[in-house]
Chains A and B, each alone.
Chain A
């Protein structure tokens, strides 16, 4: 196991076991509770807690961990928490950090859902939510356009995109099947591209 920090970065002698589980839990609780939205929105909070405040990892490590979190299944924020927790306190640390990350959501959403389900029959609440749903449509449009710009980069990716939209929307193909198919598609297309070069 690697030590939490080594000579030279200001915390000589600190080893893995000196990172307290409570610190892992409370740090990720703050990260989860103060980050609006997922993805890049969490980076500033993450940097503040795990680099500046606790010096658990370095700047480069955070970016690497974040990159791994992006290309593994599941929620990016959860993956990042699990990875840092694991590096500091093994499997127990991974679980504690992850629970810290999701705790604020559990508390807040449960409270809001309770309130919402009690007032949802009120007609003004219903009118408000009609407008809110329209706003969500606009936000999703923006997300799709931003993501499409980054991922539809050549003819095979554009064709795959169209195939996915048509097969899920019109033929109710399961998203699980799509994900599995995309992995094979990516591996084969890149292989063909390389053999053509």
Chain B
């Protein structure tokens, strides 16, 4: 039963997340609210870190991780299959019947608004991430907030540096802060 549920929830994510891996994040946060036994806001942050520092599409990595956490190895496979099913169906349909899909006027019109809406959804996911990491239970965590300010400065300054490097530096900083305090 849990496998069917997982498949269906990730099927919906695959169907409605437009614009790549991070676009699945807001759906994962709503999933954490409706199915807290599967994943939590905190575990999503860890999932992002793992998914960004391993090869493979981020969206698929997060689906596998979330499914695994909810129901083991089979859960990971089922969640991933659920997430890719809508893609496969829609793309086969487009390949067969709509050759110039991306140049269609209505598609372009829809994307004029879909793009900012997706950025809005990713911002929402980012705010949820901030609230568990920097302001848990309404309290400002000073050390983490300072670390954030430093990291964000360098991340924006050196855009070409691979995310994996920042994640490793974050891990080291976390250990050093704990060691000092």
Contact = CB atoms under 8 A, between A and B. Distances in A.
A183 B113 contact: yes
Interface string B62-76: 001100110001001
Given A73-B15, A75-B14, A32 B57 contact: yes
Contacts of A129: 46, 49, 171, 174
Interface in A121-141: 123-124, 127-141
B58 A83 contact: no
Interface in B1-52: 12, 14-22, 24, 26-27, 30, 33, 42, 45-46, 48-52
A151 B47 CA distance: 26
Contacts of A131: 147, 170-175, 177
- Which of A82, A112, A113, A148 gathers most chain B CB within 10 Å? A113
Interface in B148-181: 148, 151-152, 155-156, 159, 162-164, 166-167, 169-175, 177-179
Contacts of A87: 95
Contacts of B167: 132, 135-136, 139
B140 interface: no
Contacts of A12: none
Q: Is the interface of A mostly helix, strand, loop or mixed?
A: helix
Contact of B120 (A42, A145, A165, A187): A165
Given A38-B58, A160-B120, A135 B170 contact: yes
B64 A105 contact: yes
B101 A186 contact: no
A189 B20 CA distance: 24
A39 to B, nearest CB: 5
Interface residues of A, number: 96
Nearest to B131: A169
Contacts of A169: 124, 127-128
Contacts of B46: 116, 129, 132-133
B60 A185 contact: no
A109 B113 contact: no
A179 B58 contact: no
Interface string A152-166: 100011101111110
Contacts of A101: 57, 60
Contact of B91 (A94, A147, A175): A94
Nearest to A183: B110
Given A79-B91, A131-B147, A37 B58 contact: yes
A190 B112 contact: yes
A141 B155 contact: yes
Given A113-B68, A164-B121, 4 more contacts: A37-B52, A74-B14, A136-B49, A175-B121
25 contacts: A32-B55, A38-B59, A74-B15, A75-B59, A75-B84, A78-B87, A108-B61, A124-B178, A127-B179, A128-B171, A130-B178, A133-B133, A133-B170, A137-B133, A138-B148, A141-B126, A141-B156, A143-B122, A144-B123, A151-B115, A152-B116, A160-B113, A162-B120, A179-B114, A182-B118
Interface of A: 32-39, 42, 64, 67-79, 82-83, 86-87, 91, 94-95, 98, 101-102, 104-106, 108-110, 112-114, 116-117, 123-124, 127-145, 147-148, 150-152, 156-158, 160-165, 168-169, 172, 174-176, 178-179, 181-183, 185-187, 189-191
